[in-house]
Amino acid sequence: MVVETQTARFDSIPLDCGATLSPVEIAYETYGKLNAAGSNAILIGHAFTGDAHAAGISHEGKPGWWDSMIGPGKGFDTDRYFIICSNVLGGCQGTTGPGTINPATGVPYAMSFPVITIRDIVRLQKMLVDSLGITKLLSVAGGSMGGMQALEWAVTFPEMVWSAIPIATTWRHSAQQIAFNEVGRQAIMADPDWAEGEYYDKKPPARGLSVARMVGHITYMSDESMREKFGRRLREKEKFGFDFGVDFEVESYLRYRGNQFVSRFDANSYLYITKALDYFDLTNGTGHLVDAFRSVETRFLVISFTSDWLYPSYQSQEIVRVLRRINGDVAYCDLQSNYGHDAFLVDVAEQTELVRGFLESTARVAAEAGQ
Amino acid sequence: MTVNSNGTSSLLMRPDFKIIAEIIQPGTKVLDLGCGEGLLLAWLAANKKVLARGVEIEASNVRKAIARGVSAYQGDIDEGLADYPDKAFDYVILSQTLQETRAPLQVLTEMLRVGRKAIISFPNFGHWTVRMAMLFSGQAPKTDLFPYDWYDSPNIHFLSINDFEDLCRKNGFPIERRYFLSGEKKVNWLPNLRGQTAVFLVG
C-alpha cells in the first residue's frame, strides 16, 4: 500500500503563548475509508521525532513508523477504521515549524518561531479533523508524546472523542524527563554550528543534534535490552584500541543512530518539541488531575511497559487511579516487555490484542449511544 | 442462559456465575474484583446491559479481559478499592477470591462502601469432604474444592458458610440472599456440611 502525504492549510492558529501563527500548514496521511456516518475515524499522534507517515509504504519505499499496528487486520484495522496521522506543529516533516519560511520575512522562522505546547499541537489537529468533516473521533491514540496528545484531546475536546489510548506516557513531564531533554537542548546549543538557530543556509549543528539523539536513544532502551543487544562486545576488533575511536558495539550503534538522525531532523524542531514536552502538564500546574478529568466521559485504554524507565508505569497508574476516583471508564494493563520505552513500537503483539478489543467495544458503545 | 458470540459460553461451567448472573439487575453498575479473563463481565454487559468494570492482578488475564472489551485494569484488590467514591456501583462482586485476600474483613467493608450491594462467592471449608480429609489423613485437606498442597495454595484464609454468616452478624452486614450449591444443584438442608460453594448477596 503506497501512501501519499497530504497537506492542509489554515489561515491562522492562536497559540498558548499568546502569539498567532499565520498561515499554518499540517502534513497528514490517512489509511482506510471514512464511513458514510463519519463514525469510524481514529487519530494517531506520533512520538517526539515521528512524522505523518505512520503506516503503509512511502514513495521512497519507507514503511510507516507504526506499520506493525496500523493496516488491514492489524490492531488499528484499516478494513474497519479510517486512520489519520499528522506531523506535529513545530515539526520538520511537512507541518509548519521553525524551519518553515516566515512569509513576513522571506526566511525561515528559526528561533523567532513561537514556543508551542502539546495543546497547540492538538488544536491544529482539531482544525484538520474538522476540515475532514469528522465531528467525533472514535479514538485518539499514541505512544509517548502521542499519548500526551491523546490525553490532551480528551481533556480539551472531550465532546469530540469517544475514547483515548495513551500508551507509555505521562500526564505531566517529570524532573527526570525534563532533565534529559535539557541535556539534548544544551548539546545542540553548544554546537557552534547552531549559530543561535540561524543555520538554514549554512552547515546545520550536526554534532550537537547527534549527541542529543544519542542521549535520547539510551532513554528509549532498557538496561536489559542493551545488555542483550550489545553487551560489552567490541566493534570489529579483538582487543581495546587504547584510543578514543569506537571500541564497543554500543558506541558504534549510538554514533550511527545519531548521524542518521541528523539527515532527517531539524535541530530547531528538536528544541521546540522538547520544550512542548517539558511544558506538558494536563493540570496546568495545579497538580489536581481529578479536576482536569472532571467533565471527561471518554473511555480510556492506558498501557504501560514494565521496563520503560523514561515513562515509568507509575505515571500511567496515576492516570488510572484518578480516572477510577471519578468513576471513569478505564482499562489498564502493564505489559511485560524488555524493550524499555521503545516497546510500544517494537513489542506489539499483546498491545495489538488490547487495542483491537478496546476499539471494538468502543465502536459498540458509540453505536449504541448513536441509536 | 444462552450462549452468545462473546465466547462466554463457559459461563455455564461456573455454577456460582449462573447465580450471580441471576441476581444482577439489568442496566446496573457492576465492579468485579478478581475478574479473571472478564467472562462474567462480558456476559453481563452483553446480556444485562450493565456498566462493567473489573480489577485483576494477573497481566495475562487483564489482557484477555480487555481484548474481550471489558474495562478491566491491572491492580490489587486489597488496595485497589480505596480510590472509588462511596456507592459508585450497584454491585461489587468477589467470586471465589475472598479466601485469597490478605484482609478479608477490610475487603468486605470496602465492597459495601463502594457498592450498594456485595455479591460474594467462596468454596465452603466446612464441606464434609474437607472435614473427612482432615480427620482421616491428619494433614491439610486436599479435596476437589481445595485441590492444592498447603505450600502452593493461593488460599490464605479458610472459611466455612457458618464462619461467613458469623462475620456478617458481628459486623452488621445484612445478608439479603444466600445460595448454597453442590455442583450445579442447590442445597437447602445442612448447607454447611453439604454445600460446596456459597453465594451471598449482602447489603
State how far the Cα of A73 lies from the Cα of A80, in Å rounded to an integer. Answer: 9
| CATH number where A101 lies | 3.40.50.1820
Query: What mean pLDDT is predicted for residues B25-32?
Result: 97
A308 is catalytic: yes
A144 is catalytic: yes
**What residue has cell string 499483546?**
A350
Which of B5, B63, B64 to mutate against chain A (most A CBs within 10 Å)?
A: B63
Q: How many domains does chain B have?
A: 1
Quote the pLDDT of residue B10.
57
Q: Could you tell me the three cell numbers for B50?
A: 450493565
Query: What mean pLDDT is predicted for residues A115-140?
Result: 98
> What count of residues does chain B have?
203
Model confidence pLDDT, tens digit, residues B83-101: 899 999 999 999 999 999 9
Quote the pLDDT of residue B5.
43
Terminal Cα distance for chain B, rounded: 26
Nearest to A106 by CA among A201, A18, A205, A203: A201
Are A334 and B58 in contact by the 8 Å Cβ rule? The answer is no
Range of the domain at B121: 9-202
Query: What mean pLDDT is predicted for residues A274-280?
Result: 98
Percentage of chain B modeled with pLDDT above 90: 85
Q: With H, G, I as helix, E, B as strand and everything else as coil, classify residue A291.
A: helix
Residue B40 lies in a domain: yes
- A49 lies in the same domain as A187: no
- Please name the helix (run of DSSP H) or strand (run of DSSP E) that holds residue B53, with its range, or none: strand B51-56
Among A39, A144, A210, A225, which one carries the catalytic annotation? A144
Query: What mean pLDDT is predicted for residues A267-296?
Result: 96
| CATH number where A255 lies | 1.10.1740.110
- A257 lies in the same domain as A352: no
- Pick the last residue of a domain from A245, A275, A305: A275
Quote the DSSP letter at residue A108: B
Asked if A353 and B75 come within 8 Å (Cβ–Cβ), the reply is: no
- A286 lies in the same domain as A168: yes
Nearest CA in chain A to B88: A327
Q: Which residues of A touch B (CB under 8 A)?
A: 299, 301-302, 320-321, 324-327, 329-336, 350, 353-354, 356-358, 360-361, 364
Query: What mean pLDDT is predicted for residues B193-202?
Result: 97
- A49 lies in the same domain as A28: yes
Q: Could you tell me the three cell numbers for B76?
A: 490489587
From the CB of residue A111, how many other CB atoms can be counted at a distance below 10 Å?
A: 14
pLDDT at A22 over 70: yes
State how far the Cα of A240 lies from the Cα of A247, in Å rounded to an integer. Answer: 6
Residue B1 lies in a domain: no
Residue B2 lies in a domain: no
Q: How many domains does chain A have?
A: 2
**What residue has cell string 497508574?**
A317
Please list, in sequence order, all residues whose beta carbon lies within 8 angstroms of the beta carbon of residue A120, skipping any fewer than 6 positions away.
A13, A15, A16, A89, A90, A276
Q: Largest Cα–Cα distance in chain B?
A: 49
- A47 lies in the same domain as A63: yes
Residue A1 lies in a domain: no
- A257 lies in the same domain as A129: no
Average pLDDT, chain B: 91
Q: How many CA atoms lie within 13 A of B162 on its CB side?
A: 8
Nearest to A28 by CA among A48, A9, A2, A49: A9
Which of A299, A327, A331 is the closest to B84 by Cβ?
A: A327
Can you name the residues that pair with B93 across neighbouring β-strands?
Answer: B32, B119
Residue B83 lies in a domain: yes
- Conformational region of residue A174, where left means phi above 0, alpha means psi within -120 to 50, and beta covers everything else: beta
Quote the pLDDT of residue A295.
86
Residues on chain A touching B62 (C-beta within 8 angstroms): 332-333
Residue B3 lies in a domain: no
Asked if B73 and A335 come within 8 Å (Cβ–Cβ), the reply is: no
Model confidence pLDDT, tens digit, residues A207-223: 999 999 999 999 999 99
Query: What mean pLDDT is predicted for residues B88-116?
Result: 95
State how far the Cα of A86 lies from the Cα of A91, in Å rounded to an integer. Answer: 10
Torsion B44-B45-B50-B53 (CA) sign? positive
- Pick the last residue of a domain from A275, A301, A335: A275
pLDDT at B7 over 60: no
- A345 lies in the same domain as A287: yes
> Strand (E) positions, chain A?
6-10, 13-14, 20-21, 24-31, 41-45, 70-71, 76-77, 82-86, 139-143, 163-167, 299-305, 330-335
Quote the pLDDT of residue A370.
78
- A253 lies in the same domain as A286: no
- Pick the last residue of a domain from A275, A310, A338: A275
**Which pLDDT band, with edges at 50, 70 and 90, does B12 fall under?**
low
- A232 lies in the same domain as A149: no
Residue A201 lies in a domain: yes
Quote the pLDDT of residue B6.
44
Quote the pLDDT of residue B11.
62
Quote the pLDDT of residue A32.
97
**Which pLDDT band, with edges at 50, 70 and 90, does B4 fall under?**
very low
- A242 lies in the same domain as A113: no
Range of the domain at A128: 6-173+280-370
Average pLDDT, chain A: 97
Nearest to A343 by CA among A71, A83, A153, A68: A68
Minimal CA separation from A320 to chain B, in Å: 8
Q: Which residues of B touch A (CB under 8 A)?
A: 51, 53, 59, 62-75, 80, 83-85, 88
- A138 lies in the same domain as A25: yes
Residue B4 lies in a domain: no
Residue B21 lies in a domain: yes
| CATH number where B17 lies | 3.40.50.150
* CA-based radius of gyration for chain A: 21
State how far the Cα of A339 lies from the Cα of A143, in Å rounded to an integer. Answer: 14
- A258 lies in the same domain as A186: yes
State how far the Cα of B195 lies from the Cα of B183, in Å rounded to an integer. Answer: 9
Model confidence pLDDT, tens digit, residues B138-162: 999 999 999 999 999 999 999 999 9
Which of A326, A335, A356 is the closest to B67 by Cβ?
A: A356
Residues on chain B touching A324 (C-beta within 8 angstroms): 73, 80, 83-84
**Which pLDDT band, with edges at 50, 70 and 90, does A369 fall under?**
confident
From the CB of residue A356, how many other CB atoms can be counted at a distance below 10 Å?
A: 19
Quote the pLDDT of residue A79.
98
Q: How many CA atoms lie within 13 A of A358 on its CB side?
A: 35
Are A233 and A249 in contact by the 8 Å Cβ rule? The answer is yes
Quote the pLDDT of residue B15.
85
Query: What mean pLDDT is predicted for residues A67-84?
Result: 98
SS (H, E, C) A142-170: EECHHHHHHHHHHHHCHHHECEEEEECCC
